[in-house]
Amino acid sequence: MVSQSLPIIDISPYLSETPDELAKRPAVSAALHKACIEYGFFYLDISSYIDPREPEELTALAKSFFLLPEEEKDKITLRCGDNARGGYNTPLSIERLQSHHFISLSQATRA
């Protein structure tokens, strides 16, 4: 029987070079692979390496950004970006029921 909830995976073994953590990497890789095959998605358990206040701060910053006037947000639209640091995307159309606002914080792809 398949579980109805997404797996939560701790990738902290990839953030350390200690022998104990290195030994855990194959199991983490297997868990990531299985989650991708079975669900296509997974949650990352960041509790061991992220201050618990950080997600709250990021949420507060995002809310304050999305409350800015459109002219301010438009300064970092994807149209103005350099394709290296992400940007902001406006709603697809006013007629849409859902908001499509987001900020992409992806890192540049290295060749």
Q: What is the pLDDT of residues 46-68, one digit of tens each?
A: 888 888 888 888 888 888 888 88
The residue ranges of DSSP E strands in the chain, in sequence order, are 8-9, 43-44, 88-89, 102-103
| Tens of pLDDT, residues 35-50 | 999 999 899 898 888 8
Whether 78 contacts 87, CB under 8 Å:
yes
Same domain, 64 and 88: yes
Same domain, 20 and 61: no
| Tens of pLDDT, residues 92-106 | 434 443 445 555 444
Does residue 109 lie in a domain region? no
Does residue 66 lie in a domain region? yes
Asked if the model's pLDDT at residue 32 lies above 90, the reply is yes
- What is the span of the domain harbouring residue 16? 8-44
Mean pLDDT, all residues of the chain: 75
Helices marked H in the chain — which ranges?
19-38, 53-66, 70-73
Same domain, 66 and 30: no
pLDDT of residue 12: 93
Total domain count, the chain: 2
